[in-house]
Amino acid sequence: MSVAASADQEEKPRPVRASVVGSAEFVLPYHQDEDVRSFTFDAHAAPYSRPLPGIPGGLPTDARGTVKLSHYSAERDITYTSKGRVDCLVTGVRTSTLTAVITEVSPGGPPIVGNRVGFSVYDGGAEKGKGRSTDRVGFSWNGVNLLPKGSAPPQEAPVGTCMAPAPYAPVTKGGYAVAHAELPVPPSSLKGAPGPASE
List the end-to-end C-alpha distance of the chain, in Å, as a whole number. 53
DSSP helix/strand/coil, 96: strand
> Which of these, 155, 157, 138, lies nearest to 28 by C-alpha position?
138
Amino acid making up residue 137: V
pLDDT at 13: 62
Eight-class DSSP state of 196: -
> Which of these, 104, 33, 97, lies nearest to 63 by C-alpha position?
97
Question: Would you say 137 and 169 are in contact if contact means Cβ atoms under 8 Å apart?
Answer: yes
- Alpha carbon distance 135, 167 (integer Å): 9
Strand 146-149 relative to strand 95-105, pairing: unpaired
- Alpha carbon distance 20, 68 (integer Å): 13
pLDDT one digit per residue (tens) for the chain, 199 residues: 555 555 555 666 656 799 999 999 999 999 889 999 999 999 999 999 999 999 999 999 999 999 999 999 999 999 999 999 999 999 999 999 999 999 999 999 999 999 999 999 999 987 665 667 899 999 999 889 998 988 989 988 999 999 999 999 999 999 999 999 999 999 876 655 555 554 4
> Which of these, 158, 133, 119, 113, lies nearest to 40 by C-alpha position?
119
pLDDT at 187: 84
Amino acid making up residue 117: V
pLDDT at 142: 87
HSE-up of 157 (CA within 13 Å, CB side)? 16
